[in-house]
Amino acid sequence: MLSLSGVTKQIGGLTAVNNVDLTMSTGQIIGLVGPNGAGKTTLLNIISGMLSPTGGKVTFLNEDITGMSADRICRRGISKTFQIAESFPNLSAEQCVMIGVLFGNTRSPDMRDARAEALEILSFVNFPGEKAGTLTRNLNVVELKRLQLARALASHPKLLLLDELTTGLNPKESSEAVDLIRKIRDGGTSILIIEHVMSVIMGVSNRIVVLDHGEKIADGFPHDVVNNQRVIDTYLGDIDAF
Ligand SMILES: Nc1ncnc2c1ncn2[C@@H]1O[C@H](COP(=O)(O)OP(=O)(O)OP(=O)(O)O)[C@@H](O)[C@H]1O
Ligand SMILES: [Mg+2]
């Protein structure tokens, strides 16, 4: 489904992502982990078209999408949530999701259908129904996180990129998010997820990829990766992993 080969991003004098190869099959959940500043968000931004790589190639469903604009990549079936939950402050939650329904893929539903679908997606992500009409600047961080996920799902992605979706959630909310992530995968969407909470990553991932200083240092089954000495030395040793 997705293949990265030699993907590199230079930002000024810094190599934020360095020569990363990665492949992903349909129906998988891949966990992407690594220390702060490892290049995880930059890599997701490259896949989704928010950033162009300075080297390498990104292929999605047998098409070269390297450097393609984010809106075109979205219409081809990739959407993402953002590490910092933000939204259009003066639109309601429902309107934000409707934008994705209306413009995020090649279908063209009418406004009434788009609204009904937006409400359905908000309910799927457990967004409080009574706040669908609330301006997003009045939502709390948990509601903004749910809204982000709803917005990303609105385009009916084949591949969903999640950047720290559960950060800032309490254990109960986090476990609800994990259930939701599994439900999305069971519905046929593949998922690439960045997360610092190892119990979340271990619980959902078919495979774990580890970045450090922009380079991929491990890629394999969860059990093998967490027992990899280099991963323990560079990452797991430093965090309160479990
Ligand atoms: N726009 C930018 N300008 C300058 N440096 C940047 C920019 N974006 C990212 N970087 C740098 O690139 C490196 C990778 O950053 P990135 O945000 O991808 O890391 P990350 O793995 O997502 O970290 P975190 O776990 O803290 O979210 C960091 O050193 C960061 O400071
Ligand atoms: Mg990040």
At 148-169, the pLDDT tens digits run 999 999 999 999 999 998 888 8
| Residue nearest to ligand 1 atom 29, measured at CA | 37
Is pLDDT of 241 > 60?
no
The ligand with the least distance to the CA atom of 197 is 1
pLDDT at 186 (0 to 100) = 94
Tens digits of residue pLDDT in 37-68: 999 999 999 999 999 999 999 999 999 999 99
Tens digits of residue pLDDT in 67-98: 999 999 999 999 999 988 888 999 999 999 99
| Domain locations along the chain | 1-77+158-242, 85-156
pLDDT at 127 (0 to 100) = 96
Q: Which two tokens stand for residue 89?
A: 């402050």
Is pLDDT of 239 > 70?
no
Q: Domain 1-77+158-242 adopts which CATH fold?
A: Rossmann fold (3.40.50)
- Which tops the pLDDT comparison, 170 or 242? 170
C-alpha 47 – ligand 1 centre gap (Å): 15
C-alpha 83 – ligand 1 centre gap (Å): 11
State the amino acid at position 119 in one-letter form. Answer: L
The DSSP output letter for 156 is: -
Return the ligand 1 atom nearest residue 196 CA. Answer: 25
Query: For all residues of the chain together, what is the average pLDDT?
Result: 93
37 lines ligand 1 (CB under 6 A): yes
C-alpha 33 – ligand 1 centre gap (Å): 13
State the amino acid at position 172 in one-letter form. Answer: K
Spatial separation of the C-alpha atoms in residues 227 and 105, rounded to whole Å: 41
Could you tell me where the DSSP H helices lie in 187-221?
198-204
